């Protein structure tokens, strides 16, 4: 018994002394420029101390609108996508625990009993004896031991454990990516709903203006001052404006449905935006001077953990070429009489080490080759993740660098078209101009006002986009910060 325990303890102590065959991990060089793009489309990037980076502020600090904060908080609590990502993390963590436990022996207790009768002619086969009676045989045993415990001298199990660990860490980064996507998607859906409500109000205002124009033309037609063609032209514009109201009524309802799906529960009306101008803009953030910030993005870290997992696979594939040493040992007591099972002198033990030395197995060579190819695939995927991240940030910076000018230009355009419409209507009322100029000015004004709503939406969404692509959104607020902020009420 003591000898058995000594051998088991010796095997446990020898495990850390075993080697590992995993290749040394070298982080691939980022295949993107060190600095962000420069040019007329990009804002000048300067080192600032008063503007935080995306990874330095939480979503609660970035989104300054209280209602939007509450909607995002509700989504983080009720989103099925985020809940599924969290369950994937829990599953990966449990699988890592299973793989790590294989480094240690599993000790089992067994108890068995058997009773059998052997006939005399079988027991004394080939012997001439009068004692041909059979024998009834009983055996009882209780054992405590280890069954087929592989001693990891060459690091195969540790490599598999490392792979499970990297997959667990990758799943955590995937959960962070899912949260970043959810936060930005909820914000974009919220802002889109606000913009479409602006468009709905604009359609209603346009309908009222078209109806007033129709009434004016109708009065002039009744007095014989306007031709019948002008009357039908004005009527067609009223019908078109009414169709716009119906269209945006539908779009607003669909926007609310999209926001409900993202949030996981219906959002009460008091938390929904009335118009885009009422939504407080997000906090300004800095992209910094270097593109190294991309290496901290959750999706890039996920790709890196997957790459590290492939390195562990190579170690396990290499270890398959070396002997596998396993141990089966047990100690206990046995007796032919149940009442004597635990008496002195009934002890038993067994010790059965086994060494399996691979001689020829073509699968091991193919497995090693496959693991090396998987490494090249994982490196390419990691580099591609960095390139995609760089492109997303560059696009967001280009939008931020030009959107202010677009908004200013569109506002000037709206003001000019509005003045054109006012003058055209005034000239028509005085009989100086025909109704075609009024119709043209009305259509241009409506389109320009819709365009202004669109560029203002792009302005707000580009702030959210830049925050997300720089790796912001997964950082959860500190409990003290959350307590000091607005209460996240459930609908």
pLDDT tens digits, one per residue of 329-361: 888 888 887 777 788 877 888 888 888 888 888
Q: Which residue has the tokens 């955590």?
A: 172
| Residue 201 burial by Cβ neighbours in a 10 Å radius (0-12, 13-18, 19+) | middle
Whether 223 is covered by a domain: the verdict is yes
Strands 107-118 and 324-335, how do they pair? unpaired
Please check whether residue 127 lies inside any domain of the structure.
Answer: no
Q: pLDDT category, 120, cuts 50, 70, 90? A: low
Instruction: With a cut of 90, say whether residue 386 has pLDDT above it.
Output: yes
Residue 479 placed within a domain: yes
CA pair distance 96, 169, nearest whole angstrom? 10
For the chain, the first-to-last Cα distance in angstroms comes to 66
Chain centroid to CA 25: 25
> Does the structure show a pLDDT above 90 at 257?
yes
The sheet with strand 107-118 has its strands ordered as 107-118, 135-151, 324-335, 347-356
Q: Is residue 309 part of a domain?
A: yes
Burial readout 55-75 (b: 16 or more C-beta within 10 A, e: otherwise): bebbbbbbbebebbbbbbbbb
CA–CA dist 160, 167 (Å, integer): 11
Contact by Cβ (8 Å): 157, 20 = no
Whether the CB-CB separation of 189 and 255 falls below 8 Å is answered with yes
pLDDT of residue 170: 94
Distance CA 234, CA 218 (A): 9
Which of 448, 449, 423, 447 has the alpha carbon at shortest distance from 437? 423
| pLDDT band per the 50, 70, 90 thresholds, residue 108 | confident
As given in the structure block, the two tokens for residue 2 are: 């003591």
Helix (H, G, I), strand (E, B) or coil at 92: helix
Q: Determine if residue 224 is left, alpha or beta; phi over 0 gives left, psi from -120 to 50 gives alpha, anything else beta.
A: left
Mean pLDDT of the chain: 85
Give the structural domain span for 259. Answer: 21-103+152-322+360-484
> Would you state the structure tokens that stand for residue 403, as one six-digit string?
């959107």
Q: Domain holding 263: CATH number? A: 1.20.1600.10
Distance separating alpha carbons of residues 479 and 485, to the nearest angstrom: 10
Answer whether residue 7 is part of any domain. no
Q: Write down the pLDDT at residue 47.
A: 47
Average pLDDT for 35-53: 74
Angle, in degrees to the nearest 10, between helices 156-222 and 80-101: 180
Using one digit for the tens of pLDDT, what is the confidence trace for 461-472? Answer: 999 999 999 998
For 47-50, which contacts have Cβ atoms below 8 Å and span 24 or more sequence positions?
Answer: 47/289, 48/286
Question: Residue holding tokens 């259509």?
Answer: 443
Residue 471 resides in a domain? yes
Say if residue 488's pLDDT is above 70: no
Using CA atoms, how far apart are residues 308 and 313, in angstroms rounded to an integer? 9
pLDDT average, residue stretch 447-466: 94
Checking if the pLDDT of 124 tops 80, the result is: no
For tokens 């068995």, name the residue: 112
At residue 146, the pLDDT reads 82
Choose between 435 and 481: higher pLDDT: 435
- Strand 347-356, strand 324-335: pairing: antiparallel
* CA dist., res. 38 & res. 277, Å (int): 31
346 inside domain: no
Mean pLDDT on 435-458 = 90
- Residue 139 clears pLDDT 70, i.e. is over it: yes
**E-only strand ranges, 336-413:** 347-356
Span 268-273, mean pLDDT? 94
143 occurs within a structural domain: no
- The pLDDT value given to residue 14: 52
Locate 145 and state its tokens: 């031991």
Count of structural domains, the chain: 1
Question: Among all chains, which residue has been given the structure tokens 């009489």?
Answer: 337
């Amino acid at each position: 018994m003591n000898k058995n325990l000594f051998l088991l303890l010796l095997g446990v102590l020898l495990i850390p002394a075993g080697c590992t065959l995993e290749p040394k991990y070298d982080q691939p060089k980022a295949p993107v420029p060190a600095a962000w793009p420069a040019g007329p489309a990009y804002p000048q990037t300067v080192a600032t101390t008063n503007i935080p980076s995306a990874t330095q502020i939480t979503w609660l600090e970035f989104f300054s609108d209280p209602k939007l904060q509450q909607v995002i908080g509700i989504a983080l609590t009720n989103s099925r996508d985020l809940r599924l990502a969290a369950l994937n993390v829990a599953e990966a963590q449990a699988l890592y625990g299973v793989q790590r436990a294989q480094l240690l022996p599993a000790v089992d207790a067994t108890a068995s009993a058997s009773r059998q009768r052997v006939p005399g002619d079988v027991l004394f086969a080939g012997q001439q004896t009068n004692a041909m009676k059979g024998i009834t045989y009983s055996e009882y045993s209780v054992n405590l031991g280890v069954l087929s415990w592989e001693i990891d001298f060459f690091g195969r199990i540790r490599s598999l454990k490392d792979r499970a660990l990297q997959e667990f860490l990758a799943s955590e980064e995937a959960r962070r990516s899912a949260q970043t996507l959810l936060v930005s998607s909820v914000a974009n859906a919220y802002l889109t709903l606000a913009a479409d409500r602006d468009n709905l109000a604009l359609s209603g205002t346009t309908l009222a203006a078209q109806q007033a124009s129709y009434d004016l033309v109708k009065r002039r037609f009744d007095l014989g001052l306007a031709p019948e063609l002008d009357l039908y032209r004005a009527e067609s514009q009223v019908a078109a404006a009414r169709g716009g109201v119906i269209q945006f009524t539908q779009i607003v309802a669909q926007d609310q449905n999209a926001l409900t799906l993202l949030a996981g529960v219906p959002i009460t009306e008091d938390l929904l935006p009335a118009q885009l101008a009422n939504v407080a803009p997000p906090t300004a953030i800095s992209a910094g001077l270097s593109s190294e910030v991309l290496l901290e993005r959750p999706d890039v870290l996920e790709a890196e953990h997957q790459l590290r997992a492939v390195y562990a696979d190579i170690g396990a594939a290499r270890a398959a070429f070396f002997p596998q040493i396993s141990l089966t040992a047990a100690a206990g007591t046995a007796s032919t009489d149940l009442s004597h099972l635990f008496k002195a002198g009934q002890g038993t033990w067994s010790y059965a080490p086994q060494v399996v030395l691979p001689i020829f197995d073509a699968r091991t060579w193919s497995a090693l080759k496959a693991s090396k190819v998987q490494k090249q695939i994982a490196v390419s995927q990691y580099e591609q993740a960095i390139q995609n991240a760089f492109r997303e940030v560059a696009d967001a910076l280009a939008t931020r660098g030009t959107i202010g000018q677009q908004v200013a230009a569109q506002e000037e355009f709206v003001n000019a078209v509005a003045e054109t419409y006012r003058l055209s209507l005034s000239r028509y009322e005085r009989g100086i101009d025909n109704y075609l100029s009024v119709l043209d000015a009305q259509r241009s004004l409506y389109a320009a006002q819709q365009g202004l709503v669109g560029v203002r939406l792009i302005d707000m969404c580009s702030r959210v986009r830049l925050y997300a692509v720089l790796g912001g959104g997964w950082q959860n607020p500190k409990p003290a910060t959350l307590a000091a902020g607005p209460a996240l009420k459930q609908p």
